Amino acid sequence: MTGAASLSGGPLPDRGTIEIPAAATRFGAPLPGGGTVGVPAPASGYFNRSEVLRGVEWWESRGYRVKLGEHVFERDAYVAGAAESRAADVTAMFLDPEVDVVQSYQGGYGSMQTIPHLDFEAIAEHPKPFVGYSDITALHVALRQRAGLATFYGYGLAGMGDKDSTDFSRTRLLEVLGGGGAGEVPRDPDDPYVRAIVGGRVTAPLVGGCLWLLLQTMGTPWEVDLDGCIFFFEDVDAPAWYVDGMLTQLHQAGKLDRVVGVVVGDMHQCDWSERRPEWPRTRSIEDVLELHLEPLGVPVLYKLPLGHGKHLAALPLGVTATLDADARTLTIEQSGLVEKGHTEEGTA
């Protein structure tokens, strides 16, 4: 690979000396039948109270209990109350012995604000499955890098009750929370086509999330670490030139130099449309992905149902996965869950 052209015109880095990063070392236990789902709201809050109630009733109709965070019904403009209160609810759910799974209420905006107020030591001592997506990406990054926790990219409580959520997405999340997510990540049941942008096969830790939120970590003490990892990203309502800019920043910051594979999920509503007429139809989202990812010389897979589209295949993060772009598959090799009280090193 030495001598291959990069986007900046210079040689690509030698990937032969990559050290495997600190992947997840702490794991929650599987969600038991009739277990309790604890719900903090670390980002945006509810708009109509029924949005909360629908999610609660969905879990309860299947025999589970829901325990809402103390501050879930607080609102401060576009976030669910003060950052300190939102963070306190997250930490409290990990410490609460009644709670089996911590499921964010929803994404939206505001997760980054909570990170300085989280008690990572307490969370590391009480590992549990943590679920959320979109804006919750910032917490996935911080919890893996500061607490060593394997987390799950999937619906929040609002998604469980949303009338537009699919049975595929809900069933997948239940399966992952009960079994850890090992095995091949399923394709979109409505559109099973998956594209290999670059062929090849690699096994490494899987990390990432929503592209815009990953950029928000840059320059912070919890800046995302992609070295030696399979880099997963997705986004929504980001036209091709936005994505071009975000990938340009990651490239120029050196964040793409040492990734060993890339999984691009659902780039929902990211191509040109009449809704976003401010830019001409000169480059498609696939053009942008090719421009930035082909020169990396690593396997690249595009269009699994991972993101903001109709279907979301819940995904464990921080665990070992195999990206086989030739077979067009992503297989989770390592469960994101263990029996209660265990870490990678042994009994906690």
Q: pLDDT digits over 123-180, tens only? A: 999 999 999 999 999 999 999 999 999 999 999 999 999 999 999 999 999 999 999 9
Rounded to whole angstroms, how far apart are CA atoms 338 and 49?
35
121 burial level (CB within 10 Å; 0-12, 13-18, 19+): exposed
For the chain, domains (ranges, CATH) are: 36-181 (3.40.50.10740), 184-332 (3.50.30.60)
Q: Are 306 and 263 in contact (CB under 8 A)?
A: yes
Establish whether 344 is a catalytic residue: no
Q: What is the largest CA-CA distance in the chain?
A: 59
Establish whether 292 is a catalytic residue: no
Which residue among 234, 292, 311, 335 is the active-site one?
234
Taken in order 125, 131, 135, 141, is the CA torsion positive or negative? positive
3-state secondary structure 160-211: HHCCCCCHHHHHHHHHHHHHCCCEECCCCCCCCCCEEEECCEEEEEEEEEEH
98 burial level (CB within 10 Å; 0-12, 13-18, 19+): exposed
Which residue among 134, 165, 169, 335 is the active-site one?
134
Collapsing DSSP to helix, strand or coil, 98 comes out as: coil
Report pLDDT for 343. Answer: 59
Which residue among 140, 251, 308, 311 is the active-site one?
308
Digits of tens for pLDDT over the chain (348 positions)?
Answer: 333 333 333 333 444 444 545 699 999 999 999 999 999 999 999 999 999 999 999 999 999 999 999 999 999 999 999 999 999 999 999 999 999 999 999 999 999 999 999 999 999 999 999 999 999 999 999 999 999 999 999 999 999 999 999 999 999 999 999 999 999 999 999 999 999 999 999 999 999 999 999 999 999 999 999 999 999 999 999 999 999 999 999 999 999 999 999 999 999 999 887 777 766 677 899 999 999 999 999 999 999 999 999 999 999 999 999 999 999 999 999 999 998 755 554 444
Report pLDDT for 275. Answer: 76
Tokens of 58: 């969905």
Tokens of 283: 């480059």
Establish whether 125 is a catalytic residue: no
Report pLDDT for 8. Answer: 32
Report pLDDT for 342. Answer: 55
Report pLDDT for 21. Answer: 58
Rounded to whole angstroms, how far apart are CA atoms 306 and 300?
15
Q: pLDDT digits over 329-342, tens only? A: 999 999 999 987 55
Rounded to whole angstroms, how far apart are CA atoms 215 and 246?
7
- Amino acid symbol at 290: E
